[in-house]
Amino acid sequence: MPSAPPKNIILIGFMGSGKSSIGRELSQTLGYPVIDTDALIVKRTRKPIRQIFADEGEEAFRDLESAVLTDLESEQPTRRIIATGGGIILRPENRAALRRLGFVVWLVVSSAEIVRRTSRNRDRPLLDNDDPEGTITRLLDQRTNLYRETAHQEIETDGLTFPEITAGIIESARYFFATL
């Protein structure tokens, strides 16, 4: 008999879209463990993300993202909340793996809100330059269609509270898994 399809909820979206915070909220509400692909990479390499970018470059970091997704596909349990790094959708094999892992939700956020949220810390190597706003515009341009293509559902988050977003995701996920 084929094994049951995984029932993970996967959060994708740009840096600062609230994936980690909403992941925690979903985890508390549903009682599922929350997993963060960036945290798995840090654990695996024992290096902070900014150091991986500085020492080995972005492509090496993207290789690590693919490796972590492969691990997640082979693991139990399959009822988890998976928060991802903003660039995980860049590779086609990652986009396919994310959809195989469960219900993929794209947290859509305006560029103004991204600028506001990401200016609070310098932890993101891709934005640690002289023109973070221009970089955000350029990356959003490159990525928007890839988020759309990967997601089973998109949620406009501007103006919604975390509990409101979480409630919407849970309702949609129930429907999605019921109709698999």
| Interface residue list for ligand S3P (CB under 6 A) | 15, 19, 38, 49, 85-87, 124-126
Q: Least distance (Å) from ligand S3P to the CB of residue 49?
A: 5
Q: Whose Cβ is closer to ligand S3P: residue 124's or residue 152's?
A: 124
Q: At what angle do helices 92-101 and 132-150 cross, to 10 degrees?
A: 50
Residue pair 78/33 in contact (Cβ under 8 Å)? The answer is no
Q: Whose Cβ is closer to ligand S3P: residue 11's or residue 169's?
A: 11
Q: Least distance (Å) from ligand S3P to the CB of residue 56?
A: 13
What does the DSSP assignment read for 8-50? EEEEE-STTSSHHHHHHHHHHHH---EEEHHHHHHHHHTS-HH
Burial per residue of 111-147, b for 16 or more beta-carbon CB atoms within 10 angstroms, e otherwise: eebbeeebeeeeebbbbeeeebeebbeebbeebeebb
Q: Whose Cβ is closer to ligand S3P: residue 49's or residue 82's?
A: 49
Q: Whose Cβ is closer to ligand S3P: residue 126's or residue 151's?
A: 126
Q: Least distance (Å) from ligand S3P to the CB of residue 151?
A: 15
Q: Least distance (Å) from ligand S3P to the CB of residue 125?
A: 5
